[in-house]
Structure 1
């Protein structure tokens, strides 16, 4: 059992629950398989797991007393009776999301690769997709090395993951590829899944990547996912992360990006699933003239709670970033956004903007938003802002006067609010599908 440090102001009962839960979560991890990982992968993962487990001895599951978690109550995790992972059902009978424009699709069911549901036919000589057994030693050396690896859920993933999905694009390889990763949870009892993805784009390469988290209608499992991304000099990645799990599921996600000089990262995070969800977006700009685009769209209804925390840290001059995060909150739902941009003295001539826009659909909906700039450099162009609004009655009345009923008028305004971000997708069919799914999700809870 782990001896986890609890806050000094926590009650004895709360501390006991926290200690028990974190230790029990670690006990649920699967044993490593040398046949699956290969000798090099086994040695790498075993060392990382031991280091992360040692770090967890000094960790605790956060409470609302911590600033970074003060709006997000993790009691659905700390009070859940989790069980070991079970064998997945007949894989051939499981449905998966599909994208018309995809070239490769990899499906993982309860964290286990499902070749029968995957489509690896359109391979490319410069694109290497596999697990630790197929990864190059240089790629293995990057695993678990980005800042923030000591964060409790990231460390729990490192200490518990049984394999790593690796994607590497060779230098100056621009295949025009769309790789679709589907993480499907089918658990009928509460369990914990730790997906881990490592993406490496060598200098001058480019890729379009879609991460898709889905689950069965009654799924109550906890998905604790970590994706690490390394972009080499002049590399370009268009990355979409979709979290559309069941409204009873729990989801914690971490996306960590390292950008070399002249690289470009375009990230799109869309979420409307889960009883409780949190996505940490950490970007480290490690060279001059990087470009970073972060776009987020979160929809919560019923009693859902969705939390987005982003951090963008510059360390070199002449970099630019644009961030727009939108939340649509209905019912008694709650959404949280905290975006931090750090511009130290070395990051002169930085051009960074951040905007949080939020739409409340009901009187009991709630949004907590905190755009944040930390600037030390004196020659920069930085801005941030936040808006919270409801559907304007005048706009609804105008649309009704043009022949639309109340529901159609509201839908049109909600769609217009979301489509600004969805229209920027490089995958048209996905943007159209997401817009329809978001409205359907809002309707289901409203009608219920």
Structure 2
């Protein structure tokens, strides 16, 4: 659903209500050639002009305070030279690299793509094809999504044609390079899997090596899984300690389609992931796995919403949090099952491991059901490392510190082992050890 807002239809009292947001919009907006893309950006900007930065008074942001973000004046980040040698995945040959949201063809690897796979930026597909999908997902009026669209300049595009099975993963690497002053980058990604196709994606957000500056990544990924298509989506956020990250993943599933997402967050001063699934046909399968690992005073928020609007849908969700020091984790998962969605099978579980007395988690799994012939369940657990488990390992000759590491790694490995790249799995496990021992 595209944004259709006319300034004349909005009272003047509702325009530019948030001075910080208006200023931020002016910094990210730049003109492009006339046409559908400029119209898309203009419509999004109109919506931003009468929006405000969310506060904790709003239910969806009740536990995520953005006041630290509003204290920083961000400037639009431009392309910057950087090295990717330490960031690439050696077992993944197909790679798209974007630096501060701008395509870097010299750092990418898109040669010898299989027939039926198109990967690159906006230049790789005709406008009449891209315009049918880009900015057309549900949820385009959410303030940070609209801000991303208003400043849209470059897009990572992955197009899988009908009946094409892409055997090897595609690595979408988004690198942030901070400047002398705080910067903002707005990466955008569009993935279309046509009917009967299959593809695996590794979407990764990282700072450039040894980059410890303050920056803000505001990302949007739109994924269209058409009839009987399959997308395995792996989203990894490993931002710098001083970074802000707000991301949206909007997925539209056609009938008989299968979508899985393994989302892992292990970095950033403040991070939020809005994961929204729209079922556009019957008999879809949706599998969501998530892991959040934070320490110090980090805050990580995961909000998911699954709208099951048709019969025979299957949805499975498991989200885990490992929280140390004074960090704060948030999970809010919603599953909507209206009356037409008969014979739905949906489950949702949030498991949380607190590593210190000061660690905090707010969890809210939700089911909203009006259909009367469904199988649905949801739940949440909050626990600490058990003394008897540590004692058992000590009795087998393992010291207390190593016993704790072993238990934490086992908790995280259930999700990390789903990532389809050995080198990335190893890096994530090492990062978990580092963060949980701060």
TM-score scaled to structure 1, two decimals? Answer: 0.91
Closer/same/farther in 2, CA of residues 321 and 398 from structure 1, 3 Å limit: same
- List gaps (5 residues or longer) in structure 2: 1-6
- 1 CA distance for matches of 2:416 and 2:112? 26
Match of 1:39 in 2: none
Q: 3-state SS of the aligned residue for 1:295?
A: strand
For residues 42 and 51 of structure 2, the distance between their equivalents in structure 1, rounded to whole angstroms, comes to 15
The yes-or-no answer on 1:354 pairing with 2:345 is no
**Are positions 1:72 and 2:72 aligned together?**
no
Q: Is the 8 A contact 1:86 1:187 kept in 2?
A: no
User: Which of 21-30 and 232-241 deviates more?
Assistant: 21-30
Deviations 1:365-403 (A, max 9, x none): 000000000000000000000000000011111111211
Determine the C-alpha separation between the residues in 1 that align with 2:419 and 2:215.
30
The answer as to whether partners of 2:79 and 2:102 remain within 8 angstroms in 1 is no
Asked if the contact 1:171/1:202 (under 8 Å) is kept, the reply is: yes
Q: In the alignment, what sits opposite 2:421?
A: 427
Which residues in structure 2 correspond to 1:360-375 (within 5 Å)?
360-375=354-369
Shift, 1:87, TM fit: 4.5
Native 8 Å contact 2:202 2:235 kept in 1? yes
- Structure 2 residue aligned with 1:154, among 145, 152, 159? 145
Change in Cα spacing, 1:85 to 1:440, as seen in structure 2 (3 Å) is same
Alignment pair present for 1:124 and 2:114:
yes
Partner of 2:93: 103
The counterpart of 1:304, out of the listed 298, 303, 310, is 298
Find the aligned partners of 1:434 and 1:219 in 2 and give their Cα distance: 22
Q: Tell me the secondary structure at the aligned position of residue 63 of structure 1.
A: coil
On the 8 A contact 1:202/1:231 being kept in 2, the answer is yes
Q: CA RMSD in A?
A: 2.1
Question: Hey, what's the Cα distance between the residues in 2 that align with 1:86 and 1:125?
Answer: 33
Pairwise mapping of residues 294-443 of structure 1 onto structure 2 (< 5 A)? 294-443=288-437
Measure how far apart 1:435 and its partner are: 1.5
1:262 and 1:435 map into 2 onto residues whose CA distance is: 34
Match of 2:270 in 1: 276
Question: Aligned pairs, how many?
Answer: 426
Q: Deviation at 1:274?
A: 0.6
Deviation, 1:95, is: 4.3
The 2-side partners of 1:83 and 1:142 are apart by 29
Please give the residue correspondences for 1:175-190 in structure 2 after superposition, counting only pairs within 5 Å: 175-188=166-179, 189-190=181-182
Tell me how far apart the structure 2 counterparts of residues 263 and 389 of structure 1 sit (CA, whole Å). Answer: 36
Q: TM-score, normalised by structure 2?
A: 0.93
Contact residue 28 and residue 192 of structure 1 kept, 8 A: no
2:19 is aligned to 20
SS at match of 2:154: coil
| 2:223 aligned residue (229, 233, 241) | 229
Q: How far, CA to CA, are the matches of 1:85 and 1:423 in structure 2?
A: 34
CA positional deviation for 1:201: 0.3
Match of 2:4? none
Q: Give the C-alpha shift of residue 122 in structure 1.
A: 3.4
